[in-house]
Chains A and B, each alone.
Chain A
Amino acid sequence: ADYFREGSNDSEDSELRFATCQSLWKQVKLETEQIEEELNKQLFDNLVSFLRRSHSEFQEKTTEWTRRMKSREIPTAALVLGVNVTDHDLTFRSLSEVLQNNVTPYVALLQAKDCPGIKNLMQKLLGQLMNCSVDVDSSEEEDYVEVSQNRIRCSMTSLISWYESVTKKTDSETPSKKRTSRHWQSPPVVVIFKDMESFTTKVLQDFIVISSQHICELPLVLIFGIATSPMIIHSLLPHSVSSMLCIELFQSLSCKEHLSTIIDKVLLTTQFPLKLSEKVLQVLINIFLYHDFSVQNFIKGFQLCIVEHFYSQPLSVLCCQLKEAKKRINSLSHNQCENIRRLPSFRRYVERQISEKQIALLTTDNFLKEIVQKLLEDLNVYHENYFPVLRCLHVFTCSLPKYPLGKQIRELHCACLENRVWETEEYESFLQLARMLNKSDLVTMLQKCVEILVSSPGKEFDKIVEKLKEFLTQFQKLEEACQERDESVSSQKELQKKTDLYHLQKTLLELKESRRSKKLTKFEMLRFEVVDYIDSLVRNYLVPADHKTLHEIVYFSTASVLREHLNAAPRIALHTALNNPYSYLKSQALKSDGGSISNKAPDICIVYKLHLECGRLINLVDWLEAFSTVVMAVEGPNADAASSDQVDDIIHARFIRAVSELELLGFIKPSKQKTDHVARLTWGGC
């Protein structure tokens, strides 16, 4: 909060802005978490039922004979999660929560980096399991002591004896406590390997071999978290080991789908006042698609947008629910009113008004406030209409061949935000394609549109819905009419049958002619009407947001800031810092005009520039010489006689310091190939 105030000294309300920002983020976070939970529900349900099943098989013995003959396998769930490793942590956390609530208190999460050897693995496992049991009945102090003693001997036997003691204890106290009813009588021990790929083969093999020997005493269930493909199990484990596992595959939802639901539920609603402009959204989506596939990072990026918006835009106080915003408008200070007047979209608005109103807007604060209230209301209505209509349009576009306006609704959204969508070529082709739709598709689409519009809260949709329904009934009528006409056509055909080939040809040609000139059929007329109507809807409601007055308040649009923060380019930053120190230091003396090396630049910059001209190996002596000539250039031509053959000690020292700084930054390293040479490490040397 302090930081917020510090940066926004020019205006008040920073406190309020901060609070709004916080509450908004909280809402968004809650929403995304909920979405995540819903998306994972299916997967988790499957997993839980798998655990239940594996467990029941453990208990009931089908027949004596098969049990004896079959080798005991460890039930294993292979959980394919996709390559977005950053999201897995959250998934596993919620998974273990779900398991602990529904299945078993004994869940251990293992990570490859904690388990370089089997010993560490066992230690980690026992630690987690025994701690969690203590967690369950924390009232008993003696238990705790016992556990800490036990930890010295971390072997499977101690684990088994611990398990026996724990289950026995819960058995004896079942009637009194309700807790056990949630779990089963002997709950399985679930071991989750978070990142299967990173575990060393030996550790996994040993662990599986050990646990398979004790599977009868300890109902163990393994869960492998797999990022790539389940083939990795076969490549990690030899057949003799994998034959001890009873592997079942579970696939999580793909992260792309996950992202589209998040966008759908968070960005494409009126629920949250803050919106993202086209460019910002594009940056976020590009990072997602090109780099990491991580939904978490996407949400983090969105969070950054929220913070940045509230931080940099003083008028973002008004970025809240409409009722609240109206209240806040009344308490705006004069400064803030000036801020509003400075907004480009507002200026455009003022210019369109008559002159008296212009003066009033620019001078009287109260009048301004009234108008702003109205404008905000307009903006709100715009949003309320925008999203449902966007969805309707998406219903049409997503089923057309080649997807002229994008397959996903987010692409459509971006296209609409970018500029007037109806002026683009893609939209033209969309219209053309839409005019060629067949009837059943058209009807289903219209029905979908009606559904969308009915469920949306906008007030103006009643008329649209009516209109669409009218279209539907017309289609139905057409259908009846069609059947009648079919009969007449067939009678015509009968006539044709009698004629010979020559006549047939002739009639066909005639038919063709007539079709060309013929008036459109009723269906085609209706189709044109529908498409035109949709077109009018689009023109009415899908106006790009930056054509709206006061859009700056709710739209975050500085994509460059976002890109700098989220897609950092360390090499480029370093290069500009060293190559062009002016860009960071802002000292007039450093403002250079091109390729020449200024001697006023910091030593390291000079050294860096000189080294850019060298090859793979750099001769230190030559380098020093070049350095000293550059540095001496200032001291002027008067001093050059004295120092022509002997380099000054101070310059020597400065050079050495600069070179070692470069080495620290990782640009060069000492080389053993040649004496007095250093090797260049950065790319570009030939």
Chain B
Amino acid sequence: MPNLEHPAYPAATLLHLESLVPCRESQVSMLLSIFGERQQFSFPSIFIYGHTSSGKTYVMQTLLNTLQLPHVFVNCVEYFTSRLLLEEILIQVQNCSSETKPASHVPCDTFNDFVRLFKQAVVNQDLQDQTLYVVLDRAEQLREMEANILPAFLRLQELTDRNVTVVLLSEIVWELFRPNTGCFEPFTLYFPDYSIGHLQKILCQNHPPEYSADFYAAYINILLGVFYMVCRDLKELQHLAALNFSKYCEPVVKGEANERDTRKLWKNIEPHLKKAMQTVYLREINSSQWERLQRDEGEPGQLKGLSAHAHVELPYYSKFLLIAAYLASYNPVRTDKRFFLKHHGKIKKTNFMKKHEKTSNHLLGPKPFPLDRLLAILYSIVDNRVAPTANIFSQITSLVTLQLLSMVGNNDQLDGPRYKCTVSLDFIRAVAR
């Protein structure tokens, strides 16, 4: 494992930094060598990508904070328009050095203004002789803003003529960013996923103070054994570890087992974790309810998850409308006559065709159908006569707002609206009962 070494920073700080970012040493040392010394100009823009929770944001933040480099950290989801984003960057630049009090907020509409104001701010804050880092988290949002924002950020150093480096953090690869007009190519850096060993190491680092590290490491081992198959998200694992730890400790607290008795502990926790995987992990039961359950020793059966309430009560005609819509969506038009007419012709024995349809129709998904067909099927499946009253039509619309049907195509009412049925077979079975 490479130790972090850099002439510009004291060794103690680097050592501290290394302890904070386990399993990311190589990336950090790479970044350090790119950054160079404080006053040196760095690469104009750096693009860092990697899967969810591979430590991009965390590493950047700890790196900049521990080395006390001047930086601006912005989340692009939060500042959803370019204007908000630029203003936020300016505000953070102005607050960079703590001695100046927060400046009043300046309107900044275009990138041109931004460059001008940015220069001013840098001069005001005495930041000319060190590199300023602008970190844009969740940079994929930049693509949805005006076309000039992304290329301009990539060459901010050149545009402002200041010592600044832009760091983009994203979950997707650079190839998907590249605008078709071409732009400055940033330095790309990949953060690989944590392996199971890495996860174990990181999770073990934060052991609770009351228990020994070994004890906790054993727990994490069991936890990973259960959850690693479905979840590699570090945050989620951390959350799950915290939730279930008290249960794991229970035998120890009660005095039934000591900390070394791993086998006994494993037997105690394993079914519990499996249950957790089916409920908490899927957010069927929320975590506070889960904790209460643990305390009360109750059966989770009495606490129904979200999907247990799948049944929807519908008015009489809405049910029939939905069923008609389902039939219209999944049956081909030419079978209508056969299914819904009382005096249809002979049913031709086209076994081969039938088989072919049966396999495909549900796999192909719902097909759109016109309103008239829906009503025609409705009239034939409801026993007594149905008047096409305003209520029936408004029920169709309310089914659309409930997202049980969806409108397809243009909204021209005269054109005869077309719908699609979006519910599943199970749902329609429950309704039809």
Judged by a CB distance under 8 angstroms, whether B350 is at the interface is no
Chain B residue with the shortest CB-CB distance to A287:
B391
Chain A residue with the shortest CB-CB distance to B91:
A157
**Residues 391-406 of chain B: 1 if any A CB is under 8 Å from the residue's CB, otherwise 0?**
1101100100111100
Question: Are A71 and B414 CB-contacts (below 8 A) given A57-B288, A197-B402, A247-B286?
Answer: no
Chain A residue with the shortest CB-CB distance to B319:
A290
Instruction: Flag if B52 contacts A228 (CB, 8 Å).
Output: no
Instruction: Flag if A68 contacts B307 (CB, 8 Å).
Output: no
Question: Are A153 and B105 CB-contacts (below 8 A) given A197-B401, A254-B313?
Answer: yes
Judged by a CB distance under 8 angstroms, whether B294 is at the interface is no
**Residues 63-77 of chain A: 1 if any B CB is under 8 Å from the residue's CB, otherwise 0?**
101101111010010
Judged by a CB distance under 8 angstroms, whether A229 is at the interface is yes
Question: Are A213 and B75 CB-contacts (below 8 A) given A242-B283, A247-B306, A669-B414?
Answer: yes
Partner of B312, one of A78, A157, A228: A228
Judged by a CB distance under 8 angstroms, whether A440 is at the interface is no
Judged by a CB distance under 8 angstroms, whether A26 is at the interface is no
Question: Are A71 and B235 CB-contacts (below 8 A) given A83-B315, A157-B88?
Answer: yes
Q: Which of the candidate stretches B127-135, B238-246, B341-349 sits at the interface with the other chain? A: B238-246
Chain A residue with the shortest CB-CB distance to B235:
A71
**Residues 366-386 of chain B: 1 if any A CB is under 8 Å from the residue's CB, otherwise 0?**
000000100110000000000
Chain B residue with the shortest CB-CB distance to A70:
B242
Judged by a CB distance under 8 angstroms, whether A658 is at the interface is no
Instruction: Flag if A289 contacts B315 (CB, 8 Å).
Output: yes
Judged by a CB distance under 8 angstroms, whether B316 is at the interface is yes
- Contacts of A72-97 to chain B: CB distance below 8 A: 73, 76, 78, 80, 82-83, 85
B residues near A153, Cβ cutoff 8 Å: 84, 87, 105
Instruction: Flag if A69 contacts B241 (CB, 8 Å).
Output: yes
Judged by a CB distance under 8 angstroms, whether A683 is at the interface is yes
Partner of A71, one of B238, B372, B398: B238
- Contacts of B70-119 to chain A: CB distance below 8 A: 75, 77-81, 84, 87-88, 105, 107
Judged by a CB distance under 8 angstroms, whether B15 is at the interface is no
Instruction: Flag if B307 contacts A230 (CB, 8 Å).
Output: yes
Chain A residue with the shortest CB-CB distance to B401:
A198
> Smallest Cβ distance from B62 to chain A, in angstroms?
15
A289 to B388, CA, bound (A): 16
Chain A residue with the shortest CB-CB distance to B303:
A249
- Contacts of A266-314 to chain B: CB distance below 8 A: 287-293
Instruction: Flag if B242 contacts A69 (CB, 8 Å).
Output: yes
Judged by a CB distance under 8 angstroms, whether B64 is at the interface is no
- Contacts of A237-254 to chain B: CB distance below 8 A: 239-240, 242-243, 245-249, 251, 254
Judged by a CB distance under 8 angstroms, whether B61 is at the interface is no
Instruction: Flag if A155 contacts B79 (CB, 8 Å).
Output: yes
A156 to B77, CA, bound (A): 11
Instruction: Flag if B81 contacts A289 (CB, 8 Å).
Output: no
Instruction: Flag if A155 contacts B84 (CB, 8 Å).
Output: yes
Judged by a CB distance under 8 angstroms, whether B209 is at the interface is yes
Question: Are A568 and B242 CB-contacts (below 8 A) given A65-B208, A78-B306, A229-B309?
Answer: no
Judged by a CB distance under 8 angstroms, whether A231 is at the interface is yes
Instruction: Flag if A155 contacts B283 (CB, 8 Å).
Output: no
Chain A residue with the shortest CB-CB distance to B78:
A210
A53 to B291, CA, bound (A): 13
A645 to B211, CA, bound (A): 106
Instruction: Flag if B391 contacts A228 (CB, 8 Å).
Output: no
- Contacts of B205-247 to chain A: CB distance below 8 A: 206, 208-209, 233, 235-236, 238-239, 241-243, 245
Instruction: Flag if B77 contacts A206 (CB, 8 Å).
Output: yes
**Residues 46-65 of chain B: 1 if any A CB is under 8 Å from the residue's CB, otherwise 0?**
00000010000000000000
B residues near A69, Cβ cutoff 8 Å: 206, 238-239, 241-242
Judged by a CB distance under 8 angstroms, whether A332 is at the interface is no
Question: Are A70 and B317 CB-contacts (below 8 A) given A228-B312, A572-B387?
Answer: no
Judged by a CB distance under 8 angstroms, whether A233 is at the interface is yes
**Residues 175-189 of chain B: 1 if any A CB is under 8 Å from the residue's CB, otherwise 0?**
000000000000000
B residues near A681, Cβ cutoff 8 Å: 414, 416
Chain A residue with the shortest CB-CB distance to B318:
A83
Question: Are A290 and B315 CB-contacts (below 8 A) given A70-B242, A247-B306?
Answer: yes
A570 to B387, CA, bound (A): 10
Judged by a CB distance under 8 angstroms, whether A234 is at the interface is yes
Instruction: Flag if B287 contacts A230 (CB, 8 Å).
Output: no
Judged by a CB distance under 8 angstroms, whether A118 is at the interface is yes
Partner of B403, one of A228, A287, A290: A228
Partner of A571, one of B312, B388, B404: B388
Size band of the A side of the interface? 35 or more
Size band of the B side of the interface? 35 or more
A residues near B235, Cβ cutoff 8 Å: 71
B residues near A228, Cβ cutoff 8 Å: 312, 402-404
Judged by a CB distance under 8 angstroms, whether A343 is at the interface is no
Partner of B288, one of A63, A213, A233, A246: A246
A residues near B287, Cβ cutoff 8 Å: 70, 73, 246
A568 to B388, CA, bound (A): 9
> Smallest Cβ distance from A262 to chain B, in angstroms?
17
Instruction: Flag if A230 contacts B390 (CB, 8 Å).
Output: no
B residues near A288, Cβ cutoff 8 Å: 315
**Residues 536-555 of chain A: 1 if any B CB is under 8 Å from the residue's CB, otherwise 0?**
00000000000000000000
Partner of A83, one of B81, B289, B313, B376: B313
Judged by a CB distance under 8 angstroms, whether A631 is at the interface is no
A residues near B75, Cβ cutoff 8 Å: 210, 213
Instruction: Flag if B414 contacts A568 (CB, 8 Å).
Output: no
A69 to B234, CA, bound (A): 11
A247 to B307, CA, bound (A): 12
A residues near B318, Cβ cutoff 8 Å: 83, 291
Question: Are A119 and B306 CB-contacts (below 8 A) given A71-B235, A248-B289?
Answer: no
Judged by a CB distance under 8 angstroms, whether B411 is at the interface is no
Instruction: Flag if A195 contacts B307 (CB, 8 Å).
Output: no
A71 to B239, CA, bound (A): 6
Judged by a CB distance under 8 angstroms, whether A375 is at the interface is no
Chain A residue with the shortest CB-CB distance to B307:
A231
Partner of A68, one of B206, B312, B314: B206
Chain B residue with the shortest CB-CB distance to A71:
B239
A residues near B314, Cβ cutoff 8 Å: 83, 293
Chain A residues with CB under 8 Å of chain B are 53-54, 57, 63, 65-66, 68-71, 73, 76, 78, 80, 82-83, 85, 118-119, 152-153, 155-157, 195, 197-198, 206, 209-210, 213, 227-234, 239-240, 242-243, 245-249, 251, 254, 256, 287-293, 567-572, 666, 669, 681, 683
For this complex, 28 residue pairs linking A to B, each with C-beta atoms less than 8 Å apart, are: A66-B208, A69-B206, A70-B243, A71-B239, A83-B314, A85-B398, A119-B80, A198-B401, A206-B77, A210-B77, A228-B402, A229-B310, A230-B306, A230-B307, A231-B309, A232-B403, A243-B239, A248-B286, A248-B288, A256-B313, A288-B315, A292-B394, A293-B313, A568-B390, A569-B389, A570-B390, A681-B416, A683-B375
What are the 9 closest A-B residue pairs judged by CB atoms, nearest first? A69-B242, A230-B306, A291-B391, A290-B316, A65-B208, A246-B286, A569-B389, A70-B242, A568-B390
17 other contacts beyond A70-B239, A569-B388, with CB at 8 A cut-off? A69-B242, A70-B242, A71-B239, A83-B315, A153-B84, A206-B80, A230-B306, A234-B282, A239-B282, A247-B286, A249-B309, A289-B316, A290-B316, A290-B317, A290-B391, A292-B315, A571-B388
